[in-house]
Structure 1
Amino acid sequence: MSPLLALNKYFGYDSFRPGQAEIIDKILHKQNTLAIMPTGGGKSLCYQIPALVLPGLTLVISPLISLMKDQVDALNDNDIPAAYINSTLDYAEVSANFVKARNGQIKLLYIAPERLESPRFLASLNTLAISLIAVDEAHCISQWGHDFRPSYLSLAASISQISQTPPILALTATATNQVAQDICTRLQINSSNQIKTGFARPNLTFKVVKGQDTLSFLLKYLKNNPTQSGIIYASTRKMVEKIGTFLQEKQIAAVIYHAGLSEHVRRQNQEDFLFERANVIVATNAFGMGINKSNVRFVIHAQTPGSIEAYYQEAGRAGRDGLPSEAILLYHSQDMLTQRFFIDNSEADESYKTNQYQKIQDITHYVNTEVCLQQYIVRYFGQEIDPCGKCSNCTDERLTHDITIETQKILSCVIRMHERFGKKLVAQVLYGSKNKKIAELAFNQLSTFGIMHSMHLKDIEMLIDYLLASGYLVADSSQYPTLSVTKLGSSVLQGNHQVSQKVTQATQTTTLTDIDLTLFEHLRQLRLDIARKQAVPPFVIFSDTTLQELCSVQPKTLDDMLNIRGIGTNKLAKYGQLFLDELLKYANESAKNQVIQ
């Protein structure tokens, strides 16, 4: 079977997305490959299609237990035999799945990386006919990545003990150039076999909201979007509990998820969200890695995460089906103190901590920039794109305000303090604080002492953040970063450059697509009914994208339905008649109503 035939038969698509065909071709020619594709870009097909084409077993190494279950459910529903082995299974279940793999009864076997640390398990793998090894979330292998996992460090050594030497496909959505090179080195991937399809997510609208009460914003947003499915992230368990309780008291169908809950409660809450018994899940970053729910319409960060990589990966869980969705970041300056606390109290070495402190600065610059938010993120990963035209910065219609004088005061103060101190102390000197340390260092004798006393101290700090994000100041990567003036900042001091800024932020809600929403809700309900009978998440039946295309095209026959993206011959046989009957019934009722009118 050719890759294109497998794509059409099992997944209902007539063509590959950018990069998929090239990646699959390299794998079929037994070349180790690194695939860097955005969330929702179709990474899983890059090993699922070869698994159908190649004769033996595809081994998928993933740290994400929830992803294993979701993908195995979806594959089995699509008549592609698959299984997983992880800590949720007992010994008998693990043995049964291994026997299936050995007997050629499954095409894909998902395992956790920790399994490869067992010599006994490695020896067992050598009894299988493995044709491909896929390493998902490959950024976890790099200590420079945002989600480094020690269990991934020994991955290369473990894989080298698999006697068949199958090709390796490493996959990730978020890798800087440094992380990508690290992955290639560790997994022996030639740099020419590194395929990037771009980091942009055109269907996502990014927003940064500052200075708003978190609970009030969330309640208003959710009431404005009552039927939409979304994730709300918080950095601490305490905040997750607080938000979850508040929303439940306000009659919002919300569940919570964090590592402090029992495994039973976490699984139940996750299934309530996946099966759409709850529209909203409030969670720490313990939730969502690899969650295969395609119709998440919004991701809101109630607290700022510790890096752009973490933010983009979590925000990227919105709109995996390609439909318009939102990623909203609620910023409060104290969020950064929480992230610093996590780093300060970690057991990591100093070089790793220094790297993490720099990531905090990077995300702080993101929330304070006035350039296009998607452009800023994509540029961080080494790619250039045009402004998106729809993020909160691109659509910000506030008038610009000249802040050259204020900027000169701040830059001058940094220089007079010999560029050896951080944001807070600089702001206190400018404000004219009676801080004892300022007097001890004689900074109260500087000409810039108290020169910005008319502003609030917090506003001075925010202005410094803006100057950092805009490149007039730079901070080092230490635990307590010190400020220094850049070449651009010096140009401002010399009167050769003007500085401007916009004032307060705007917000709001999700974009509705131009379809018959009543018909869409009818199809969603039918999908939900089928999913509940089969005990699988609704997106396993059809994605929202497929439902929307059904609404737009309104096919009249089963053959017509094969032209809908996401409906292949297997899906058509299982669900085609049910959905066609619903479409025809709706069309007849609409025609009758028009005659009556």
Structure 2
Amino acid sequence: MTPALSVLETTFGYDSFRGQQEEIVQHVIAGGDALVLMPTGGGKSLCYQIPALVREGTGVVVSPLIALMQDQVDALSAVGARAAFLNSTQSFEERARVEAAFVAGELDLLYLAPERLKLESTAALLERGTVALFAIDEAHCVAQWGHDFRPDYLTLSMLHERWPNVPRIALTATATEATHREITTRLDLGAARHFVSSFDRPNIQYRIAPKQQPQKQLLDLIRTEHPGDAGIVYCLSRASVEKTAAFLAENGVPALPYHAGLPAEVRAANQSRFLRDDGLVMVATIAFGMGIDKPDVRFVAHLDLPKSVEGYYQETGRAGRDGLPSTAWLAYGLQDVVQQRRMIADNDGDAEHRRKLSQHLDAMLALCETIECRRVQLLKYFGEESTPCGNCDTCLQPVEGWDGTVPAQKLLSTVVRLKRERGQQFGAGHIIDILLGKQTERMSQQGHDALTTFGIGTDLSEAEWRGVVRQLLAQGLLSVSADGYGTLVITEASGQVLSGGREVRLRKEAPRNGSARRASGGSRRSAPVDLPVSATDLFEQLRAWRAGVAREQGVPAYVVFGDATLRGIAVTRPSSLEELSTISGVGEKKLETYGDAVLGVVAG
């Protein structure tokens, strides 16, 4: 048995590596640099933790979030590793103790924020001890066009200059080819081995529903598919976060808000509760989530359109880190497209910056509007070819496409006539009223009932016309004016449609029957890791025991045991410590600490 495999079994309780883990681990143990692109839940942490435990010295981990360092250290301590962190939350005495332990060679892993590495005092400290390796977690933070850019990461190229013989391993769960190149350049990893795993997360079911009453749709999703489950709900604004959290709480779903406008102590307390308690829902802006290691998040929901596919992938990837079935659900509508287009038009950046933002949004809109497999489209964005997954809404309930050229011409003609004949611009609602021939007071005041396109669109419903507008915006055949009012204008490409030189293919709108769940994948398939009915009661008893232990120790429940380990125990019902030791996730330290108590729960 290799030293790496021995550590994997005895410390972490796993009998084999997954995917490229072993190759990465052996490469770093041998002193090689590595850049690792691996999906969330793919086991990135072990790729540096095991080499740090095998190599002489201390593995120094650059981690972007101070608030999560304690949880990372707690998780390592629970398996018997010697871990600590240095950050601004500690007293002078605490930092002095950690520094002394590092210099004395008494730490396996030391966590630092990138800001601290800029300090000469930190560099001097590292030179007094023995560094086994440098691990740069969340490496996409170095990319200017990444969704979590952190300027402090730009200084990390100094690690190679100052410690040329210490191996470096940079890791991220998401990177396009452009971001991959930027990470390579900025961290000076051109000579490193690059390990790119599949970005596929087959346990996540991707679903995008037409936005009707998003809060009620969300409540339906939680009540029917995820009662009592932990989840994350992303909203675009702070006000929406507050309202949604309050709505869920009023309807019996324990929910907490998280956004940058809350006091730091409230954010920290809410994050701590989410990590430590079972079944909480965190409603947040994108300020929340990076570095969150909670493995049993069963769903991630978006009530507003994400700005990029990278951001969407990173956020949805926080569901199902334990490999068990999970849901990524997004409510999406016309107003989302108008709002995002307007935000880009109003952006203070230069033309190149706005162009990049538009490219990110175009890719996200393509994912929303596809009639093909969502997963195929998502993976293609990251340069990975795949086949239909059978576990997304478009696979479970195939969507029809239709020839929308004539409706597109009618709508674009209306926009043109308003501008050319009246010198006016209007938003989607009024233009749709013209096409439907609605005789409103505003219509007669403006004289728009005299337009030649008035009433020529009665063959489609208002909802269908809103879908046409949304999809024309997504395809760049319609745009939003920079006037701040969401008015619609034609684009250069519109002329090809109006002249009959371009066909417009559209996605058929799902019926607006009030049930987003049934319309977008109610026939959810059962995954092979689903818990047998015979093991359900014991699993819940084990969860209750785990919750009590976690509260006593002041650590997140998953630090004691993850759901996947509890499921393994519930299914196999071990009757001895030897049998318990064969369950995935039960290493020597946890067997010694919790073994007798677990057997007591199993015995009943």
Instruction: Please classify the TM superposition score into its range, dividing by the shorter chain length.
Output: 0.7 to 0.9
Large movers: runs of 4+ above 3 Å: 335-350, 397-417, 423-434, 443-461, 464-469, 473-487, 492-506, 508-512
Indicate the residue corresponding to 1:193 in structure 2: 193
Q: Which residue of structure 1 aligns with residue 585 of structure 2?
A: 566
**Which residue of the partner structure matches residue 53 of structure 1?**
54
* Residues 1:537 and 2:544 are matched in the alignment: no
Q: TM-score, normalised by structure 1?
A: 0.85
Contact 1:424 1:461 in 2 (8 A): no
The answer to whether the 8 A contact 2:80-2:589 is kept is yes
* Distance in 1 (alpha carbons) for counterparts of 2:60 and 2:235: 34
Cα offset, 1:31, TM superposition: 2.3
SS, match of residue 58 in structure 1: strand
**For residues 357-385 of structure 1, what are the alpha-carbon distances to aligned partners after superposition, in whole Å with 9 as ceiling and x for unaligned?**
32122212222222111221111111011
The Cα of 1:538 is off from its aligned counterpart by 0.8
User: CA contact under 8 A between 1:33 and 1:190: conserved in structure 2?
Assistant: no
Partner of 2:511: 504
Alignment of 1:23-422 (within 5 A): 23-156=24-157, 158-163=158-163, 165-190=165-190, 193-224=193-224, 225-276=226-277, 279-339=280-340, 348-396=349-397, 403=404, 405-406=406-407
* Structure 1 unaligned residues grouped into runs of 5+: 418-422, 435-442, 586-597
TM-score of the superposition, structure 2-length normalised? 0.84
Preserved contact between residue 413 and residue 430 of structure 1 (Cα < 8 Å): no
Matches within 5 A, 1:575-586: 575-585=594-604
Q: Which amino acid aligns with 1:575?
A: Y
CA distance in 2, matches of 1:499, 1:247: 35
Matched residue SS, 1:154 = helix
Residues 111 and 396 of structure 1: is their aligned pair in 2 closer, same or farther, counting only changes over 3 Å? Answer: same
- Code of the residue aligned with 1:290 in structure 2: it is G
Does structure 2 retain, via aligned residues, the 8 Å contact 1:174–1:312?
yes
Cα distance between partner residues in 2 of 1:358 and 1:475: 15
- Aligned counterparts of 1:71 and 1:86: Cα–Cα separation in 2: 14
Q: Would the aligned equivalents of 1:401 and 1:502 in 2 still touch at CA under 8 Å? A: no
The residue matched to 1:146 in structure 2 has which SS? coil
SS at 1:252 equivalent: coil
Provide the rounded CA distance (Å) in 1 between the counterparts of 2:504 and 2:315: 38
The 1-side partners of 2:270 and 2:105 are apart by: 35
SS of aligned partner of 1:188: coil
- Does residue 1:527 correspond to 2:541, yes or no? no
The one-letter code of the counterpart of 1:503 is: A
1:582 Cα offset (Å): 1.5
Give the structure 2 partner of residue 22 of structure 1.
Answer: 23
> Are the counterparts in 1 of residues 371 and 399 from structure 2 also a CA contact under 8 Å?
no
For each residue in 1:196-252, what CA deviation from the matched residue of structure 2 results, as whole angstroms up to 9, or x when unmatched?
A: 111110000011111321221222233333221111111111111101112222232
Q: Is the CA contact (8 Å cut-off) linking 1:206 and 1:373 kept in structure 2?
A: yes
Would you say the 8 A contact 1:114–1:151 is kept in 2?
A: yes
Distance in 2 between residues matched to 1:551 and 1:428, nearest whole Å? 59
**Distance in 2, Cα, partners of 1:120 & 1:541:** 35
**Separation in 2, partners of 1:277, 1:380:** 34
Query: Hey, what does 1:439 align to over in structure 2?
Result: none
Q: State the distance in 1 between where 2:507 and 2:237 align.
A: 36
Aligned length: 573
Deviation digits for residues 275-313 of structure 1 (CA, Å, limit 9, x no counterpart): 216521111112111111101111111222211111111
Tell me by how many angstroms 1:117 deviates: 2.5
Residues 343, 356 of structure 1: 8 Å contact kept: yes
Between 460-469 and 134-143, the greater mean CA deviation after superposition? 460-469
SS at 2:121 equivalent: helix
Which stretch has the larger CA shift, 341-350 or 228-237?
341-350
Change (3 A) 1:237 1:338: farther
Instruction: Give the superposition deviation at 1:317.
Output: 0.6
Secondary structure at the counterpart of residue 218 of structure 2:
helix
Partner SS, residue 328 of structure 2: strand
Q: What are the ranges of 5 or more consecutive residues in structure 2 without an aligned counterpart? A: 419-424, 440-447, 484-488
Output one character per residue of 1:401-449: Cα deviation in whole Å (capped at 9) or x when no partner: 55454356568999999xxxxx988998797589xxxxxxxx9999989
* Cα pair distance change 1:346/1:47, threshold 3 Å: farther
- Distance across 2 between alignment mates of 1:73 and 1:476: 51
Note the aligned Cα RMSD (angstroms). 3.7
Q: How far does the alpha carbon of each residue in 1:154-197 deviate from its partner, in whole angstroms, 9 at most, with x for none?
A: 221x3245345412111111100010011111222237721111
Single out whichever of 309-318 and 140-149 deviates more from structure 2: 140-149
CA contact (8 A) 2:241 2:284 kept: yes
Q: Verify the 8 A CA contact 1:403 1:501 in the aligned structure 2.
A: no
Bigger mean CA offset, 161-170 vs 79-88: 161-170
Q: Secondary structure at the match of 2:396?
A: coil
Shift of 1:563: 1.9
Aligned to 1:593: none
Contact preservation (8 Å) 1:38, 1:174: yes
Aligned counterparts of 1:475 and 1:135: Cα–Cα separation in 2 = 43
Whole-angstrom distance in 2 between the partners of 1:517 and 1:51: 38
Q: Does 423-432 or 363-372 show the bigger shift?
A: 423-432
* Distance in 2 of aligned mates of 1:69 and 1:39: 20
Aligned mates of 1:252, 1:430 — CA distance in 2: 38
Helix, strand or coil: the match of 2:60?
strand
Give 3-state SS (helix, strand or coil) of 1:507's partner. Answer: helix
> Post-superposition shift, 1:486?
10
Contact between 1:209 and 1:331, CA under 8 Å: does it hold in 2? Answer: yes
Q: Which position in structure 1 is the counterpart of 2:471? A: 466
Change (3 A) 1:278 1:582: closer
- Cα offset, 1:138, TM superposition: 0.8
SS at 1:297 equivalent: strand
Cα 1:368/1:130, change in 2 over 3 Å: same
The one-letter code sitting in structure 2 at the alignment partner of 1:34 is L
CA drift of 1:484 comes to 5.0
